[in-house]
């Protein structure tokens, strides 16, 4: 998070597989997600009952709105900006933010895993 530029940047490996095609089911591609005009970022601490000290990939799910499972306090929302959440499965925690725009840039080729 760059607070001066109000920009979030995530380097990800995105699942782009096809559940209906066994040859392409586990296809992934590296990407950079850039989030501009960030109004706020809330980072929940990891759940102490989860084994988050192991250095391993973190599975992420994402959506819009305020998830029922999150009890974090959020600042007042700027008019017209949605809340976006990312659930970090291995940490059992959310990232919540509100921003103006997002862009995804593929940073490498597809790879089978």
Give the Cβ contact number of residue 67 at 10 Å. Answer: 16
Question: Residue 92 — left, alpha, or beta (φ > 0 → left; ψ -120 to 50 → alpha)?
Answer: left
20 domain residue, yes or no: yes
104 domain residue, yes or no: yes
Average of per-residue pLDDT across 67-91: 85
CA atoms within 13 A on the CB side of 34: 11
52 domain residue, yes or no: yes
Name, of 10-19, 54-63, 75-84, the range with top average pLDDT. Answer: 10-19
2 domain residue, yes or no: no
Q: Domain limits at 53?
A: 8-112
Per the listing, tokens 């509100």 go with 98
pLDDT band, residue 108 (cuts 50/70/90)? very high
19 domain residue, yes or no: yes
Query: Taking the model in full, what pTM does it have?
Result: 0.83
pLDDT at 52: 63
14 domain residue, yes or no: yes
3 domain residue, yes or no: no
pLDDT single digits (tens) 4-57: 999 999 999 999 999 999 999 999 999 999 999 999 999 998 877 777 666 678
Domain count, the chain: 1
CA distance 83 to 81: 7
């Amino acid at each position: 998070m760059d607070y001066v530029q109000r920009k979030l940047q995530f380097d990800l490996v995105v699942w782009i597989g096809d559940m209906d095609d066994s040859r392409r089911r586990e296809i992934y591609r590296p990407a950079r997600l850039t989030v501009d005009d960030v109004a706020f970022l809330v980072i929940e601490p990891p759940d102490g009952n989860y084994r988050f000290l192991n250095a391993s990939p973190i599975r992420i799910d994402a959506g819009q709105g305020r998830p029922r499972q999150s009890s974090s306090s959020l600042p007042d929302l700027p008019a017209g900006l949605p809340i976006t959440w990312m659930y970090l499965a291995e940490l059992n925690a959310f990232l919540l933010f509100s921003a103006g725009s997002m862009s995804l840039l593929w940073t490498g080729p597809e790879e089978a895993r």
